[in-house]
Amino acid sequence: MRRIEALKNGTELIGNRTRAKVVKNKMAPPFREAEFDIMYGEGISRSGELIDLGIKLDLVQKSGSWFSMGETRIGQGRDTAKNYLRDNPEVMEKLEADIRANFDKLLTGQSRVAAKAAGRAVDVDADDFNDEN
């Protein structure tokens, strides 16, 4: 894990942008990276993750420093867009629902196969086992 940048509100330090790299993994391909905001007193920023995933799925458009959802401009700068989502929970919930509906588009080919295999493994029921031995 590495700190990419410090997140500030004026001169006050409010969190860190962090990059995590998985070097060894038995369940998925190694050397995958993730970036996320860790906000002091809050933890991982949910609104920041929704904006990042929304951009990847083209549910949130970024034009220069402006962020928008459809025809609605949600803010100039990432922090303003995050605050907009926090202040408008109905918009945040709709964005999260849209991301969940399109989540399979974020998976790579190998991850998609692993997700299907994991789903099949969960379908085992206790009644499927013979306890007579």
CATH classification of the domain holding 50:
3.30.250.10
Q: Looking at the domain assignment, is residue 123 inside a domain?
A: no
Q: How many CB atoms lie within 10 A of CB 109?
A: 7
Write out the H or E segment, with its range, that includes residue 46: helix 46-56
Q: Which helix (H) or strand (E) holds 44?
A: strand 43-44
76 located within any domain: yes
26-30, 50-54, 95-99, range with the lowest pLDDT: 26-30
Q: Which domain holds residue 19?
A: 1-44
Band (pLDDT 50/70/90 cuts) for residue 61 is very high
Largest CA-CA distance found in the chain, in angstroms, rounded? 70
Higher pLDDT, 119 or 126: 126
User: Is the domain of 35 the same as that of 55?
Assistant: no
| Per-residue model confidence (pLDDT) at position 30 | 84
50 pLDDT above the threshold of 90:
yes
The DSSP element (H or E) to which 79 belongs, if any, is helix 78-87
Mean pLDDT of the chain: 86
- Domain count across the chain: 2
Give the C-alpha separation, 65 to 99, whole Å: 22
| For residue 98, pLDDT beyond 60 | yes
In a domain, 119, yes or no: no
On whether residue 21 sits in a domain, the answer given is: yes
**Tokens describing residue 18:** 């962090």
pLDDT at residue number 55: 94
Mean predicted confidence (pLDDT) in 50-55: 94
